[in-house]
Amino acid sequence: MKEVVIVGAGVAGLSAAAELREQGWDGHLTIIGDETHRPYRRPPLSKDYLSPGIPESVAIPQADDLDATWLLGLPATGLDLDARTVLRGSSDPVRFDGLVIATGAHARQVPTNLRGIDGVLTLRGLDDADRLRAALTNDPAVLVVGAGFLGTELAATFRARGLPVTLVDRARLPMIRALGAELGSRVAELHETHRVHLKLGRNVRQLLGNGRVSHAHLDDGTAVRAELVVVATGSEPTTGWLLSSGLAITSGLLVDSSGVASPGIVAAGDVASLRHPLIPGSPVRIEHFANAAEQGTRAAQALLELKPRRPMPVPSFWSHFYHWRLQSVGFTGDSFAYQTVETGPGEQFVGEFRHDGRLVGAVANNNPAAIVKYRRRLQVEME
């Protein structure tokens, strides 16, 4: 295998590249990315990166040690499995022997009724974050649309800057998909304690303003001041470029347990969809930083036809908002039965998620030792 192409210059792609070199593969490596940036950390973009002052760099330094050809600023537009090439619009196709697909996800489009007026932003990548920073300099009243992870973190970040914040979601509770109703209620209380105006079970009907947004009308008939609107309604896997490739797309690119989509083609990160031993049934995508890194490593090992060095990773996520330091392992959310099993000072807690009585996940606030313990337990369950 002389030529490996990695499509996607995020953490999953970087992790795959690093593992190829770690294993001593010395062929020619090309990394294709649609952004102009080399790999960077996304998590700070909704938190510290939006604080006043000059933000710390989010670049990942390991990217510079790879001995790779970087083709940045142009997305892949197609995949020709017969010719074994990646198409890049009108630029030359790039030939590969082995391929790593790590194109991640992109923010869901701003709904039609919120377009056509200035002051409406989404946050997915570094360029978005820079635009958002610029929009914060005049201390706007902010409307955040979507109260999942991102919307919750953003609301907290904007409140820390002293901005008035309205948080709207059509669901009845924040983070209900990720955490379930009981914890979602606690997150709602936390927002209210920090004087976020919560509008749950609500939609934005229309934005008003003279060229630039100044107010939002909600479907309960109320109007809220909104000089900046941030739409945080989730993301979709970036698989459009693969639709005519012949690979199996099912909300994400389907891969087996070692990350293989097709001979000589592997995938990792937000784009990859896989059946996980902890959850029987439909394939899932695991959209968090640590998983991207772990999947990238496994995908590279599969490409080199090595047996995986470590067991299949247990999914995990973390989220920081206000004084909460939330971490989880395994599968969580409103599809499972939740129970708090431990509480401690400073709103510390540990809770379990079960499916038909079987432990599938755990969540903890300010208790990393509990997470380490549950991860080991879930790892054993998987064997």
Residues that bind another protein (CB under 8 A): 11, 14-15, 18-19, 22, 41, 43, 60-62, 289-290, 293-294, 297, 310, 316, 318, 320, 325, 327, 367-369, 371-372, 375
Phi, psi of 373 (to 5 degrees): -65, -45
Query: Least CB distance from residue 372 to another protein, whole Å?
Result: 5
How many C-beta neighbours within 10 Å does residue 374 have?
23
Q: Tell me the C-alpha distance between 28 and 71, whole Å.
A: 13
Considering beta carbons, is residue 43 or 75 the nearer one to another protein? 43
Return the DSSP state at 47. T
Minimum distance of another protein from residue 109's CB (angstroms): 27
Smallest distance, another protein to C-beta of residue 164, A = 28
User: Closer CB to another protein, residue 207 or residue 364?
Assistant: 364
Q: Which is nearer to another protein, 166 or 291 (CB)?
A: 291
Count of Cβ atoms closer than 10 Å to residue 2 Cβ: 11
Please say which residue, 41 or 170, places its beta carbon nearer to another protein: 41
CB-nearer residue toward another protein: 262 or 291: 291
Nearer to another protein, 18 or 179 (CB): 18
First to last CA, the chain: 32
Backbone torsion region of residue 141, taken as left when φ is above 0, otherwise alpha when ψ lies between -120 and 50, otherwise beta: beta
Of 252, 311, 319, the closest CA to residue 286 belongs to: 252
Q: How far is the CB of 209 from another protein (least distance, A)?
A: 37
Nearest-angstrom CA–CA distance, 12 and 103: 9
- Minimum CB separation of residue 163 from another protein in Å reads 24
β pairing state of 142-145 and 165-169? parallel
Q: How many residues would you count in the chain?
A: 383
Calpha distance 380→159 (Å, rounded): 41
Beta carbon of residue 346, minimum distance to another protein (angstroms, whole number): 12
Nearer to another protein (CB atom), residue 192 or residue 342 = 342
Residues 5 and 86: beta-carbon distance below 8 Å: yes
Closest to another protein by CB, 123 or 242: 123
CA–CA distance, 238 with 358 (Å, rounded to integer):
33
> Which residues face 101 on adjacent strands?
7, 267
User: Smallest distance, Å, CB 307 to another protein?
Assistant: 15
Q: Write down the least CB distance from residue 318 to another protein, Å.
A: 6
How far is 116 from 128, CA to CA, in rounded Å?
Answer: 18
